Amino acid sequence: MVAKASETEEQVVPSPHSPVAIRRRRWRNIKDHLARYCIAAGGVSVIIAIVLIFFYLLYVVIPLFRPAQLEPAAQYPAPGDNGANTLHLALNEYNDMGLRLTEQGQAVFFSTEEGKVVLETPLPFPNPKEAAVTSFAAGDPAGKVIVYGLSNGHALLARHAYRVSYPDNVRTITPRLEYPLDKALLAVDPKGQPLRLISAQSDEDQTTIAAVTTDGRLVLVSFTAQQSFLDDEITVEQTTASLDLSPLQATHLVLDEQQEELYVADSEGYINYYQLRDKETPHLVQRVKAVSEEVRITALSFLAGGISLLVGDSSGQIAQWFPVRNEGNHYTLEQIRTFNTQQAPIMAIASEHARKGFLAVDSSGQVGVYHTTAHQTLRVANISKAPLVTVAIAPRADGMLASDSQGKIYFLKIENPHPEVSWQALWGKVWYESRDKPEFLWQSSSASDDFEPKFSLTPLTFGTFKAAFYAMLFAVPLAILGALYTAYFMSAKMRGLVKPTIEIMEALPTVILGFLAGLWLAPLVEDNLPGVFAFLLLLPVGVFMAAYLWRCLPSWVRQWVPEGWEAALLLPVVVGLGILAAALSQPLEVALFNGNMPQWLSTHLGIAYDQRNSLVVGFAMGFAVIPTIFSISEDAIFSVPKQLTFGSLALGATPWQTLVRVVLLTASPGIFSAVMIGLGRAVGETMIVLMATGNTPIMDFNPFQGFRALSANIAVEMPESEVDSTHYRILFLAALVLFMVTFVFNTLAEIVRQRLRKKYSSL
């Protein structure tokens, strides 16, 4: 019977060379190869996906840094009366119709592509024997106002307009001239002196004309529309003021579009800054030297918005000036930045209608394309052999007209979609209009077209690292120390409960954590701020005292608690300390901080307090990062070979010495990886940062102040950005910066991890 059983067992176990065993090995090899190829394909796919993401971000961002392009489209003799000098050029919105105003009072509308006259109409000037043209100026480009000064002290004010219609589905543009005050000629100087210089601005409510007469007086005339409450009749009230400028010899005169500031340049290179809030009494605020000696002012113009003044001089330099509030709370004119690319005298400046860029032409036939906020010269090109005398830019900044001293008109197309972007504008301090000093600012939108976009990524990057710092400050000590205790001191059964519980925390949606942090934790911290700090101070003291008391208990009492379960005794201690801190919060606030700690911080220490601040984000985001750092660190510590631990203990080392000198060193690559992965998670976190901070892009390391991170900024502003706009592409640039920061952190983490692994692999 025994022999038969043995024969049966031998028949059950197949031979290694039997067909069944060979088939099993072959099938196993196939599965091994299939799994290897699938895993390799998955890894390669992940790498390809990351590379594609990187190149897509780069593809969207690269157009930001392309230089401006000027493409000559046409050149032709000045349309209309070729014998008259061109005083002014203008373009319509569609870039296909231009306007030429001559010194003889002719308005010539023409096709920009061919130079063909569409409409030529004379302005309603008086008899040339009675009055001749002595000056000319154009107002705000968006308002399309032009003004002629005459030798009899009158002015002719007009506006060019374009009516667009679509008969037979074909766009047809009909140009015309309008007169803002229902009459063309306006009496400016009561004495009837010739108007040597003139400037004007007009809107629905008010029209202001400033002029300098031949006898050296500054004359200011304002027309204000007043509507009657009884019969809705509109009447126009006129005020006139006169100011003697002698002995100054005024050379240029410009009035801002708000009709509240006037700038007069004189032959000595000074700019005289007048306030016109009271039109009857112009007030001289400042007289400042704008150019160096032996250099004269050759061009004066406003930047879009009417805040900044552009001063071109005979050396080819262009300077930007604007009023800055000083320590006495008064505005003074300051030179902000200069452009020195062109070398010949600047003859004319044309500002963009809605952006902070401008064109400048000089006597050598060059045209320069500039942007003030980015402080960069985008393009300089020579388009004429003769001096250029006038220049105009299209409302959409996609075309320009220029005329030279020989009567030729040049039409060029401009490709300059993202002039606001430069290294200085993105990462450096920029002195923005109406600010007291250069600053890092992010402010991407406004209700006004005259707004100066502020695209500094520095405060957003600062906010990203600030959020990560406070989160790691909270998470790293708790996670690593908890991992050390769990892997090295805790009993296996308790570890089986604690580790999965903490890992489940990682599954909590960050939007829920952000929601709770913003709506529950932030008000709770504000109402119990002394208690929060009391808890942070009481917790280590209370834990050490509890540990000391535990050691003082008789051994038979301590034996009731199984080895490795001592940590469970700290739960009531921590809860009790929390209750104690909450109970002490109100008395401490009343006794030490006059009943309001946030206000006390602001009043006595100058520390501003926002309800949604970095401290709240540190708690919430630290809670989200702890599971990642804890789980990886605990696995690394628990994976230290037991023979190393036992050998250290056998040689007489204490458990703590073994932990510090053996276990930690061996597990250091894994712990470092855990910290860096947690840091990467904190840097890229979106929802907690978005919901638990005030989203204010400020650079302040104060834990009681908010911030705005790159990820939160992308989430907030991407839905509102116009596709392919500068704002849109800069948001992609922010994503690229975030991508690269995460990549650099992970790369450094892997390099350090490999070095640590190599260094301590011999233990």
Q: Give the Å distances, CA to CA, from 361 to 376, 488, 717.
A: 16, 77, 38
Alpha-carbon span 232 to 610, nearest angstrom: 50
What pLDDT does 1 receive? 44
Contact 342, 350 (CB under 8 A): no
What pLDDT does 7 receive? 47
List strand residue ranges (DSSP E) for 139-278, in order: 145-150, 154-165, 172-178, 185-187, 195-202, 206-213, 217-227, 234-244, 250-255, 261-266, 270-275
| Alpha carbon distance, N-terminus to C-terminus of the chain | 57
pLDDT one-digit tens code per residue, 449-502 = 557 889 999 999 999 999 999 999 999 999 999 999 888 888 888 888 888 888
What pLDDT does 418 receive? 92
Regions in the chain scoring below 70 on pLDDT: 1-14, 82, 227-234, 446-450, 760-763
pLDDT one-digit tens code per residue, 200-227 = 999 888 899 999 999 999 999 998 877 6
Give the sign of the dihedral formed by CA 112, CA 116, CA 118, CA 124: positive
Give the sign of the dihedral formed by CA 105, CA 111, CA 117, CA 121: negative
Per DSSP, the three-state class of 39 is: helix
Contact 489, 613 (CB under 8 A): no
Query: Cβ neighbours of residue 280 under 8 Å, at least 6 residues apart?
Result: 239, 241
Residue 11 tokens, joined: 């028949």
Residues forming a β-bridge with 209: 200, 221
Local structure of residue 359 (DSSP, 8 states) = E
Question: In sequence order, what DSSP letters do the residues of 134-147 get, joined into one string?
Answer: EEEEE--TTTTEEE
Alpha-carbon span 287 to 190, nearest angstrom: 27
Alpha-carbon span 169 to 300, nearest angstrom: 43
What pLDDT does 639 receive? 85
Contact 670, 676 (CB under 8 A): no
Contact 196, 149 (CB under 8 A): yes
Assigned fold of 458-760: MetI-like fold (1.10.3720)
Closest CA to 419 of 716, 64, 38: 64
Query: Cβ neighbours of residue 492 under 8 Å, at least 6 residues apart?
Result: 564
What pLDDT does 88 receive? 94
Query: Cβ neighbours of residue 79 under 8 Å, at least 6 residues apart?
Result: 100, 108, 110, 115, 116, 117, 120, 409
Distance between alpha carbon 614 and the CA centroid of its chain, in Å?
21
Q: Give the Å distances, CA to CA, from 523 to 69, 380, 518.
A: 54, 57, 8
Query: Cβ neighbours of residue 669 under 8 Å, at least 6 residues apart?
Result: 636, 753, 754, 756, 757, 760
Closest CA to 443 of 697, 112, 763, 83: 697
Local structure of residue 438 (DSSP, 8 states) = -
Alpha-carbon span 589 to 317, nearest angstrom: 61
Q: Which helix (H) or strand (E) holds 91?
A: strand 86-91
Closest CA to 271 of 295, 289, 253: 289
Q: Which helix (H) or strand (E) holds 111?
A: strand 106-111
Angle, CA 27 vertex, CA 24 and CA 33 arms, to 5°: 140
Alpha-carbon span 273 to 282, nearest angstrom: 10
* Continuous H helices in 485-518: 492-505, 510-516
Residue 332 neighbours by CB distance under 10 Å: 13
What's the longest Cα–Cα distance across the chain? 145
What pLDDT does 448 receive? 55
Query: Cβ neighbours of residue 487 under 8 Å, at least 6 residues apart?
Result: 495, 634, 635, 637, 638
Give the sign of the dihedral formed by CA 152, CA 153, CA 154, CA 159: positive
Which residue's structure tokens are 């002629």?
Answer: 148
β-pairing, 297-302 vs 283-289, is unpaired
Distance between alpha carbon 689 and the CA centroid of its chain, in Å?
18
Q: Which helix (H) or strand (E) holds 38?
A: helix 19-61
Closest CA to 172 of 163, 181, 182: 163
Domain ranges of the chain: 125-289, 458-760
What pLDDT does 8 receive? 47
Per DSSP, the three-state class of 426 is: helix
What pLDDT does 338 receive? 95
Residue 396 neighbours by CB distance under 10 Å: 15
Contact 361, 340 (CB under 8 A): no
Q: Is 547 exposed, middle or buried (0-12, 13-18, 19+ CB in 10 A)?
A: middle
Distance between alpha carbon 475 and the CA centroid of its chain, in Å?
30
Which residue's structure tokens are 């800054």?
Answer: 273
What pLDDT does 232 receive? 58
Q: Is 697 exposed, middle or buried (0-12, 13-18, 19+ CB in 10 A)?
A: buried
Query: Cβ neighbours of residue 149 under 8 Å, at least 6 residues apart?
Result: 133, 134, 135, 136, 137, 155, 188, 194, 195, 196, 197, 198, 211
Contact 712, 690 (CB under 8 A): yes
Alpha-carbon span 104 to 84, nearest angstrom: 6
Per DSSP, the three-state class of 731 is: helix
